[in-house]
């Protein structure tokens, strides 16, 4: 386990020195601040909880941006080492291969946590300064957003890690990473909506629709944040789904955890068979 922590620390230090990581962190912070300052403007007229509006806005931002950042962080974790000729040296150290995968994953997750805490923390602080109060706001939903965003990022980090172990060229890994983001974040929901519209709600039963939503980490994150709190359901227009949906909180969390653990286990198994 000490070896995994050493690798994680090395990845974290390298990531904090990386200008690309700094740029994405600043981008996440700027977008979060923009949504906070602009999105909470109409709360005075609507009488809505300004923090609930921020949660709904940031949830939409997270679904599109955080998985892409996670995949771009992890897609070259192993294949990049192989192309630079350092993978053989890394595997020559007295480390189990699962420690290599876990260490790199932990380091990248720490980087993602720093970016998320900076961006969303700045958004929460800006809202408190603008609104002039902290008490009475729905901080539980805000904390749930940060926690579930971490799980969503971990799921896509694990997918990027699996891709990095399976392929032999960095360009191939980059293409597959973008393809995974495009398929799970953009195409999946559009295809599901198309089936629902074409079949006029007769092709998919309620149970099947729940299952299809559950197997996509982006949808699990969306449901977790937009239907778990009453204020978020009202603002996102998902009141009916929140009242009638049969997906419990534990199932949504299990989906995100499953999308993290399964790719990591597959990556460990694949790296064990890979020749440097």
Quickly list DSSP for 86-139: -HHHHHHSS--HHHHHHHHHHHHHHHHHHHHHHHHHHHHHHHHHHHS--TTS-H
Number of domains in the chain: 1
Q: Give percent of the chain with pLDDT exceeding 90.
A: 28
pLDDT given at position 156: 96
**For the residues 141-154, what does the mean pLDDT come to?**
88
Look at residues 264, 230, 214 and name the one whose alpha carbon lies nearest to residue 222.
214
Query: Which pLDDT score is estimated for 241?
Result: 46
Q: What is the pLDDT of residue 218?
A: 92
Question: When comparing pLDDT for 112 and 37, which is higher?
Answer: 112
pLDDT of 266 reads 95
Whether 114 contacts 21, CB under 8 Å: no
- Res 268: pLDDT: 92
Which is more confidently placed, 20 or 201?
20
Other C-beta atoms within 10 Å of 166: how many? 17
Work out the number of other CB atoms within 10 angstroms of the CB of residue 173: 25
**Containing structural domain, residue 188:** 2-273
Task: Give the pLDDT of residue 176.
Answer: 95
pLDDT category at 242 given cuts 50, 70, 90 is: very low
| Long-range residue pairs from 78-84, CB within 8 A, at least 24 positions apart, any chain | 78/104, 78/161, 78/164, 78/165, 78/271, 78/274, 79/164, 79/165, 79/167, 79/168, 79/169, 79/170, 79/172, 79/173, 80/164, 80/170, 82/168, 82/276, 83/169, 83/170
- pLDDT band, very low/low/confident/very high, at 85 (cuts 50, 70, 90): confident
pLDDT tens for 24-83 read: 778 887 887 777 777 555 444 445 566 677 777 788 888 988 999 999 889 988 998 888
Residues 32 and 23: their CA atoms lie apart, in Å, by 14
**What's the rounded mean pLDDT across residues 133-161?**
83
SS3 186: helix
Mean pLDDT score of the chain: 81
Per-residue model confidence (pLDDT) at position 97: 86
133: pLDDT confidence band, cut at 50, 70 and 90? low
Q: How many CB atoms lie within 10 A of CB 113?
A: 16
In angstroms, the CA 196 to CA 134 distance is 42
How long is the chain? 276
Q: What pLDDT is attached to residue 240?
A: 45
Percent share of the chain, pLDDT over 70: 82
The answer, yes or no, to whether residue 209 has pLDDT greater than 70, is yes
Answer yes or no: is pLDDT of 222 > 60.
yes
Q: Could you give the C-alpha distances from 111 to 4, 16, 52, 274, in angstroms and in order?
A: 16, 7, 26, 27
Report the distance separating Cα 37 and Cα 179, nearest Å: 33
pLDDT at 217 over 80: yes
Give 155-195 pLDDT, tens digit per residue. Answer: 999 999 999 999 989 999 999 999 999 999 999 988 888 88
Residue 127 pLDDT greater than 90, yes or no: no
Q: Identify the helix (H) or strand (E) that includes residue 27.
A: helix 19-39
3-class secondary structure per residue, 45-96 = HHCCCHHHHHHHHHHHHHHHHHHHHHHHHHCCCCHHHHHHCCHHHHHHCCCC
Residue of 136 and 255 predicted with greater confidence: 255
């Amino acid at each position: 386990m000490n070896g995994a922590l050493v690798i994680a620390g090395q990845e974290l230090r390298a990531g904090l020195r990386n200008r690309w990581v700094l740029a994405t962190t600043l981008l996440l912070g700027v977008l979060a601040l923009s949504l906070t300052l602009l999105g909470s403007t109409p709360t005075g007229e609507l009488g809505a909880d300004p923090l609930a509006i921020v949660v709904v806005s940031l949830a939409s931002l997270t679904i599109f941006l955080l998985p892409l950042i996670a995949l771009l962080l992890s897609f070259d974790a192993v294949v990049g080492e192989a192309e630079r000729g350092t993978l053989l040296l890394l595997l020559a150290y007295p480390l189990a291969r699962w420690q290599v995968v876990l260490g790199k994953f932990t380091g990248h997750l720490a980087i993602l946590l720093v970016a998320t805490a900076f961006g969303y923390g700045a958004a929460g602080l800006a809202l408190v300064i603008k609104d002039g109060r902290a008490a009475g706001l729905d901080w539980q939903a805000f904390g749930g957003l940060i926690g579930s965003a971490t799980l969503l990022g971990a799921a896509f980090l694990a997918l990027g890690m699996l891709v990095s172990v399976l392929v032999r060229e960095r360009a191939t890994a980059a293409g597959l990473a973008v393809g995974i983001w495009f398929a799970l974040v953009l195409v999946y929901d559009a295809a599901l909506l198309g089936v629902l519209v074409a079949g006029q709600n007769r092709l998919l039963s309620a149970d099947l629709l729940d299952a299809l939503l559950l197997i996509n980490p982006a949808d699990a994150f969306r449901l977790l944040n937009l239907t778990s709190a009453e204020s978020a359901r009202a603002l996102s227009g998902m009141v009916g789904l929140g009242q009638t949906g049969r997906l419990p909180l534990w199932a949504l969390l299990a989906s995100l955890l499953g999308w993290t653990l399964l790719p990591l286990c597959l990556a460990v198994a694949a790296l064990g068979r890979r020749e440097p």
